[in-house]
Structure 1
Amino acid sequence: MTKEITNDNIANYTADLAKHAGINIASRAAQQNGIYKASQNLQSKIDLDPTFSIEIDTGKPSDQKQSGRCWMFSALNTMRHPLQKEYKVKDFELSQNYTNFWDKFEKSNWFFENVIASAKQPLGDRKVSFLFATPQQDGGQWDMLCGLIEKYGIVPKSVYPETANATNSSALNDTLNTLLRKDGLVLRTMINEGKSEDEVEARKNEFLNDVFRVLVVSLGMPPKKFDFEYKDDEGNYHREAGITPKEFFAKYVGMNLEDHVSIINSPTADKPYHKVFSVEYLGNVVGGRQVRHLNLEIAEMKDLIIKQLQAGEVVWFGSNVGKDSERQLGLLDTNIYKRDELFDIDLSMSKADKLDSGESMMDHAMVITSVDLVEGKPTKWKIENSWGEKPGFKGYFVMSDAWFDAFVYQAVINKKFLSDDLKAEFVDGAKDPIQLLPWDPMGALAFK
């Protein structure tokens, strides 16, 4: 039985205001400065001084600008750091636009293939609606970038630079999604009219041809071969002619992508620890690498990350950067805002409840470069972001260990740091991972 809000209810709520000490001070502060400024806690700035006991120097941060390619930027940053050191090329960058081109092209084919597979389901079916809601976008995850590199390789940024549509992607995304929805409906109609598989495939290839043209016009033609020229930090000139993107990756990056495992921390009842999960409809390269996550307890995740940092290797990770963060100061801390004190309310939620209710999920990928250990325990972490040098400490952020507990969901670890038991669990689980629904929070894409 439903009940409306009555005037007596409102009178009681009004009378209750007098029971909350400092309500007038809080009102003036919040109304004049906004909720976050009024509740900001200076102690967080003191506690998160950017000094670390284990620190990896990674140089100047990159800048994704007005695009949602954080997952690409952060993954490519983990790959460029060893290259910078070995070849003595300070601030060298790999082309984010190159992987961006192939990602959007592959996502378009991924969308068409899933539309074809689900064509017999009604448009109102939740999974079909999920597909058409966002045919493609900027966001992604680690395994998706690996699939692109394994198929297409990689190139220096100097060979395939950013364009206006890469750095500000809204118009390109809008154009592609309109085109894909229109073409997706055509493919559904053809299948439901009984057209042959060859006819449907031929039509899909026509549609992909249009997508390719849009991408070339917007982002440029990706190179098949190129000349790699650079001067190292000592002024020495180097040149390699006629190298392919896959050859460049093998020679200059040389990372064995199969050695890197995605681990997650999802303490929800439906995801047992030490099990491997995948997500329906999550991916980009048809026939390529499957997204797979090994669910671990938060202490296990931290232990592996610390081991990798101690070995001099940075760590790609995914988190909910929009929560309890101060962008300009570059601080990530659960105590940065005292909204509960400002309003005299209880905002506490468990990590599992945040995930189950949609309060929190991964939305941004960055790189952990440092950790401060006190008596062997982490207290704060240094983060390389991809928002340029203006926010934070010249583009670097500091994350409290409490924020790590609350809002870090994913990290990528070299398998050599896993115990034999964890390696076996990942290998066995990856053969037949537990399939999560498309809208599961562990299928959320890093896009900020």
Structure 2
Amino acid sequence: MTTSTELTVASLTSGQLTALHESFSADPVLKQRQNAIVRISVDELAIDHEVATSLSTTVSNRIDDWKVTNQKKSGRCWLFAALNLLRVGAKQTLGVKEFEFSQNYATYFDKLERANYFLESILETAERGEDDRLVQWLLHTVLGDGGQWNMAVNIFRKYGAVPKSAMPETESSSNTGRMNAVLRSLLRRGAQELRRLRHDGDTAGQEQAKARIIADVHRILALHLGTPPSAVDWEYTDDAKCFHREGILTPQQFLAKYTTINLDDYVCLVDDPRTDHPKGTTLTVAHLGNVIDAEPVLYLNVDIGLAKRLAKDAILDGEPVWFGCDVGPQMVRKDGIWDARLYDYAGLYGAELAMDKEARVRFGESAMTHAMLLTGVDVLDGETRRWRVENSWGEEAGDQGFFTMADNWFDEYVFEVVVNKWRLSPELRQALDAEPAVLPAWDPMGALA
């Protein structure tokens, strides 16, 4: 006998399954949908043609007049977007229409630093069991391609940047899967060794082992990505056909000479929709970073309406905006469009699927997965209507690689924008000085683009 508070474990019965099959077969509309879905992509059936065709791809304010980049089979969108932001000023300074910083150079040092960051986290948590949630999270997420705005800034501050010609893409930088798998195996084995040495109290052995592991990581990265230059003998011809011989520049000198923004002036605004995280306060995430002793990932939690307004103002002032979003939902990739009403899966399946932004975050349905650059906005009577986006997926999709985002999609699926601090109100600038709330490592706000 069970009490009223006990749950009865009920398995599916053959009778239930028979009733479900019979109900489905008796519905001619469902049979028609089944016949279509087994032969045609469900996206083609669920798309709202009227919504898709009504989204204009023109905007009233557009900055871009350049070609998009291509991250290919890698998850380096956050680095591409950050370098795409920096190259706007670099092109102006150089007097050229087309220019790219080396994404491979930034990738190399991000992975080397992130390996060190992981090993330090393993030593920090060595007293916990292997089945501890944090330890398992560290081992599970080790050395992916994704990142955050502050992590890109950490690499630029420490290592500078070089032109793409100085360290071009390689097969592995554009297709990181195998390299990452090897590095993960190396680091997980290293974690096992370091935890054992820490438990044994062997400090000297621990230091030697970590140095050996870092040397192994360095060797693997050099084999896959090439050797990063310590200096660049920079010569180029500008668009006016004038030749420039700039001489030997270190990567730090190159970054300082050819970029026009001060990275220290920028802040990452996040829309954390959960009501227990107040707007106007700062957040960070434990064990989220890439460079030891560098600036931590810091978010200022604001309403999405404010984030949109500040992004709009930046574009109107001629400044592109780095942003992070949940890129997959309600997107037609080949057309390069996003609209929150684009697909009606609920109507097609006859099942309720809708969740608001807060619920999607709380229940694992949505998180930041991709970073890009806002390069245009359509404004009518002071209100934003749609946005132009520089993606890093090559020129095949959208308008030669540029996408169009409906304003309603921004509300639902954009989580972060990066703006200059001077655009903030005095109250929000003051909030940046407060101690941030520290979210656990596995919190959705720690998702990597």
Please give the range of the TM-score, normalised by the shorter of the 2 chains: over 0.9
Greater than 4 Å deviation, 4+ residue runs = 14-21
Distance of 2:26 and 2:350 partners within structure 1? 10
The equivalent residue for 1:69 is 76
Does the Cα contact within 8 Å between 2:93 and 2:258 map onto a contact in 1?
no
Identify which of 388, 406, 412 aligns with 2:418: 412
Identify which of 40, 44, 61 aligns with 2:47: 40
Distance of 1:363 and 1:318 partners within structure 2? 7
Distance of 1:273 and 1:11 partners within structure 2? 51
1:27 equivalenced with 2:34 (yes/no):
yes
Deviation at 1:5, TM superposition (A): 1.7
The equivalent residue for 1:180 is 187
Distance of 1:28 and 1:40 partners within structure 2? 17
The equivalent residue for 1:7 is 14
Identify which of 120, 138, 141 aligns with 2:148: 141
Deviation at 1:288, TM superposition (A): 0.8
Does the Cα contact within 8 Å between 1:385 and 1:396 map onto a contact in 2?
yes
Deviation at 1:46, TM superposition (A): 2.1
The one-letter amino acid of 2:198's match is I
Note closer, same or farther for the CA distance 1:238–1:204 as it changes in structure 2 (3 Å cut). Answer: same
Correspondences of 1:196-345 after superposition (within 5 Å): 196=203, 198-345=204-351
**Could you give the per-residue CA deviations for residues 358-405 of structure 1, whole angstroms, max 9, x where no partner exists?**
011111001111111122211111110000000111001111111111
Note closer, same or farther for the CA distance 1:168–1:18 as it changes in structure 2 (3 Å cut). Answer: closer
Identify which of 350, 356, 377 aligns with 1:350: 356
Correspondences of 1:81-230 after superposition (within 5 Å): 81-196=88-203, 198-230=204-236
Distance of 1:59 and 1:419 partners within structure 2? 33
Q: Name the SS for the 1:329 alignment partner.
A: coil
The equivalent residue for 1:438 is 441
Identify which of 377, 397, 404 aligns with 1:371: 377
How many residue pairs get aligned? The number is: 442
Deviation at 1:344, TM superposition (A): 2.0
The one-letter amino acid of 2:445's match is M
Does the Cα contact within 8 Å between 1:20 and 1:344 map onto a contact in 2?
no
Does the Cα contact within 8 Å between 2:90 and 2:260 map onto a contact in 1?
no
Deviation at 1:16, TM superposition (A): 4.7
Does the Cα contact within 8 Å between 1:274 and 1:422 map onto a contact in 2?
yes
Distance of 2:154 and 2:408 partners within structure 1? 33
Question: Which deviates more, 96-105 or 8-17?
Answer: 8-17
Does the Cα contact within 8 Å between 1:134 and 1:177 map onto a contact in 2?
no
Distance of 2:286 and 2:173 partners within structure 1? 28
Question: Which deviates more, 341-350 or 276-285?
Answer: 341-350
Does the Cα contact within 8 Å between 1:279 and 1:443 map onto a contact in 2?
yes
1:402 equivalenced with 2:408 (yes/no):
yes
Deviation at 1:85, TM superposition (A): 2.6
TM-score by length of 1: 0.96
Does the Cα contact within 8 Å between 1:155 and 1:248 map onto a contact in 2?
yes
Note closer, same or farther for the CA distance 1:435–1:9 as it changes in structure 2 (3 Å cut). Answer: same
Deviation at 1:12, TM superposition (A): 4.2
Deviation at 1:19, TM superposition (A): 9.0
Deviation at 1:294, TM superposition (A): 0.6
The equivalent residue for 2:5 is none
Deviation at 1:11, TM superposition (A): 4.4
Could you list the runs of 5+ residues in structure 1 that have no partner in the other structure?
none
The one-letter amino acid of 2:82's match is A
Does the Cα contact within 8 Å between 1:58 and 1:81 map onto a contact in 2?
no
Distance of 1:381 and 1:345 partners within structure 2? 31
Note closer, same or farther for the CA distance 1:278–1:58 as it changes in structure 2 (3 Å cut). Answer: farther
Q: Name the SS for the 2:375 alignment partner.
A: strand
Q: Name the SS for the 1:399 alignment partner.
A: strand
Could you list the runs of 5+ residues in structure 2 that have no partner in the other structure?
1-7
Does the Cα contact within 8 Å between 2:326 and 2:414 map onto a contact in 1?
yes
Deviation at 1:14, TM superposition (A): 4.3
The one-letter amino acid of 1:438's match is A
Distance of 2:301 and 2:343 partners within structure 1? 30
The one-letter amino acid of 1:310's match is L
Deviation at 1:334, TM superposition (A): 1.6
Distance of 2:279 and 2:28 partners within structure 1? 44
CA RMSD of aligned residues (A): 1.5
Distance of 1:359 and 1:234 partners within structure 2? 51
Deviation at 1:40, TM superposition (A): 1.5
Does the Cα contact within 8 Å between 2:172 and 2:224 map onto a contact in 1?
yes
Q: Name the SS for the 1:404 alignment partner.
A: helix
Deviation at 1:87, TM superposition (A): 2.2
1:359 equivalenced with 2:396 (yes/no):
no
**Could you give the per-residue CA deviations for residues 159-212 of structure 1, whole angstroms, max 9, x where no partner exists?**
11111110111111011111111111111000001112x442232112111111
Does the Cα contact within 8 Å between 1:331 and 1:397 map onto a contact in 2?
yes
The one-letter amino acid of 1:180's match is L
Does the Cα contact within 8 Å between 2:24 and 2:31 map onto a contact in 1?
no
How much identity, in percent, do the aligned residues show? Answer: 38
Distance of 1:254 and 1:404 partners within structure 2? 28
The one-letter amino acid of 2:430's match is A
The one-letter amino acid of 1:276's match is T
Question: Which deviates more, 335-344 or 389-398?
Answer: 335-344
Q: Name the SS for the 1:33 alignment partner.
A: coil
The one-letter amino acid of 2:152's match is L
Deviation at 1:219, TM superposition (A): 0.8
Distance of 2:16 and 2:399 partners within structure 1? 49
The equivalent residue for 2:3 is none
**Could you give the per-residue CA deviations for residues 122-171 of structure 1, whole angstroms, max 9, x where no partner exists?**
00001001111132111101100100111110100011111111011111
Distance of 1:265 and 1:20 partners within structure 2? 43
